[in-house]
Amino acid sequence: MILLTIAANLGVAVADFARAQFVLANSAEVGVPPSWLPLLGTLKAAGAVGLVLALLGLRPIGVAAAAGLVLFFIGAVAAHLRARVHHNIAVPAGYLALAAASLVFLLVQ
């Protein structure tokens, strides 16, 4: 689960940094300015790196990273709801589910 969360967040962070067309389109649809993409990509990448550190034995950092990703993707789901963009809300909800599952795994470990 944690490996999947790492891969998913690194992948979408790279897409944010590259300003991939699907990222620009989705951001515009939910009202996120393109100028925010480097920060959003950095936050996702930082969460993924924190989860890697958890796998290397630094569990408290992983817990913090997973909690940060949970909060991040709650915000992403909220942005979709606020903008009434429901056709692709499953995407941020899926990332939220991965982050939440990783957080639970690290907390019960």
What ranges make up the beta strands (E) of the chain?
none
- The answer to whether 77 and 46 are in contact (CB under 8 A) is no
**How do residues 91-103 score in pLDDT, each as one tens digit?**
999 999 999 999 9
**How do residues 14-32 score in pLDDT, each as one tens digit?**
999 999 999 999 999 999 9
As a whole number of Å, the CA-based R_g of the chain is: 14
Residue 109 has pLDDT above 90, yes or no: no
At residue 29, φ and ψ (nearest 5 deg) are -65, -35
Average pLDDT over residues 43-62: 98
Per-residue burial over 76-92, b = 16 or more CB atoms within 10 Å of its CB, e = otherwise: bbebbeeeeeeeebebb
What is the number of alpha carbons within 13 Å of residue 63 lying toward its C-beta?
9
What pTM did the predictor assign? 0.95
**How do residues 33-47 score in pLDDT, each as one tens digit?**
999 999 999 999 999
